[in-house]
Amino acid sequence: MAYLPNIIFAVILLMGVGFFARNVQKLIRNIKLGQDVDASDNKSERWKNTINIALGQSKMVKRPVSGFLHVIVYVGFIIINIEVLEIIIDGLFGTHRIGQELLPTALYGFLIGSFEILAVLVLVSVTVFWIRRNVIKIKRFLSSEMKGWPKSDGNIILYFEVVLMGLFLIMNATDTVFQGANSGNVISQFIAPLFNGFSIEALHTVERIAWWLHIVGILTFLNYLYFSKHLHILLAFPNVYYGSVSPKGKFNNLDAVTAEVKLMMDPDADPFAAPPEGAEDEVPAKFGASDVMDLTKIQLLNAYTCTECGRCTSECPANLTGKKLSPRKIMMDTRDRLEEVGKNVDANNGEFKDDGKQLLGDYITNEELWACTTCNACVEACPVSINPLSIIMDMRRYLVMEQSAAPTELNTMMTNIENNGAPWPYNQMDRLNWKDE
């Protein structure tokens, strides 16, 4: 029975890691429902972006207050969880603070002391975040797409942080061996007096309860990520790496359309000639995108990586002028539809069964798509290199090329260009009449 706690710990650890691995497999499967895309170019620039943007948080700190607080939470939470390694070793082998036994006292004290300071800073930052969301009520957290679960999710993760950091400090404060060493207890020494009336046995019980709750809380948090916007903690790095490295004003052109335009502009071309061998393969089965399966794997990765911070929407000129478009909602809708499709696949033995729904129409409206000015403000604002504009443009392409459903003004312009060579309703002979007026 002496090994029972270790066995229980091993079972909890395997269950937590196993459930997380299962969700990761589901996540990868859903992303692979998208179209293949080549992102093997400019590897050095991609690695540079990953280091600067994902690791260095360079775009996050463009808004100093929230950026600085986010960096504290990000660095604090990652570094503090290094201690999870010690907890896992202790839990599996029945040791107690194995690091204190193996490392020099000064080094171990420095590490734990740093963790305690970071824990306090995380608590302060999380409190400020909660106040910004629920008391000050910053406008970008009040949009229609942020009601219900998105709002609750934003708060739940803050509560998680408070509980985990609090348990870490209580665990240290009630550990008599650790406090007796008087090395590294830079914060917990001030919490320890709260337990002065406790016996040694009671202190040990509190320390064990905090220890177990802390590790179970971390495993719960790990598995909560899949259902939360905080999945970006894991996906920000691949998302930034695979993000576009092309100039932001450059749009992707379909080779089949480009070839057709060149054919129209070549006066010597025979429009009735048979296409070159293999050219049929260049014509896509569908122009543009109407559902998540038509989007690329990178666009679907974008959707899962969205932090719902709202920086994109707060910078969007269409949204600022009262239009219905919200780039954040575009990404959230894409993720929600992808999750729906994934559940459909799970329920039908790995095959997608037509459910009569699609991303365009059921989630994203034409009005939202045509409100976009294609200014790239949302792309520039995103702290993790998400590109809502690419999804908007692919869906616009579907509306125009598959459904001929462009707005009347745009259809008129395209007709004029086709007939007159200009957007205006003048024949080519009259195009220079303005100079005589």
What are the boundaries of each domain within the chain?
63-234, 255-420
How many whole angstroms separate alpha carbon 52 and alpha carbon 41?
18
Residue-level pLDDT at 410: 85
Q: Tens digits of per-residue pLDDT, 166-199?
A: 999 999 999 998 998 899 999 999 999 999 989 9
At 8, the pLDDT band (50, 70, 90 cuts) reads: very high
Give the confidence band of 1 by pLDDT, cuts at 50, 70, 90. low
pLDDT for 228? 93
Going by the DSSP 8-state scheme, the letter that residue 321 receives in this structure is T
Distance CA 192, CA 208 (A): 15
* CA nearest neighbour of 338 among 286, 297, 372, 379: 297
Considering only CA atoms, which of 293, 297, 291 is closest in space to residue 364?
291
Judged by DSSP in three states, 252 sits in coil
| 312 three-state secondary structure | helix
Asked whether residue 28 carries a pLDDT value surpassing 90, the answer given is yes
Distances (CA, A) of 117 to 73, 285, 297: 12, 57, 40
Rg of the chain on CA atoms, in Å: 28
Res. 227 pLDDT band, cuts 50 70 90: very high
Q: Which pLDDT value is given to residue 286?
A: 85
- pLDDT for position 47: 96
Q: Is the pLDDT of residue 437 over 70?
A: no
Q: Residue 291's Cα: distance from chain center in Å?
A: 20
Task: Flag the least confident range among 31-35, 169-173, 426-430.
Answer: 426-430
Q: What mean pLDDT, rounded, does the chain reach? A: 90
Is 278's pLDDT higher than 60?
no
How many other CB atoms sit within 10 Å of the CB of residue 219?
Answer: 18
The pLDDT of residue 435: 66
Residue 44 falls in which region: left (phi positive, over 0), alpha (psi -120 to 50) or beta = alpha
Tens digit of each residue's pLDDT (9 = 90 or more) over 73-93: 888 878 887 888 999 999 999
Per-residue confidence (pLDDT) for residue 215, from 0 to 100: 94
User: Which of 211, 146, 152 lies closest to 177, judged by CA?
Assistant: 211
Residue 232 has pLDDT above 80, yes or no: yes
CB-based burial label for 1 (10 Å; 0-12, 13-18, 19+): exposed
pTM beyond cutoff 0.85: yes
Domain 255-420 has CATH 1.10.1060: yes
Confidence (pLDDT) at 297: 96
Give the pLDDT confidence score for residue 283 in this predicted structure. Answer: 63
pLDDT at 248 over 70: yes
Residue 225 to residue 210: CA distance in whole angstroms? 22
Q: Residue 419: pLDDT above 90?
A: no
| Contact present, 370 and 407 (Cβ < 8 Å) | yes
**Who contacts 412 (Cβ-Cβ below 8 Å, separation ≥6)?**
425
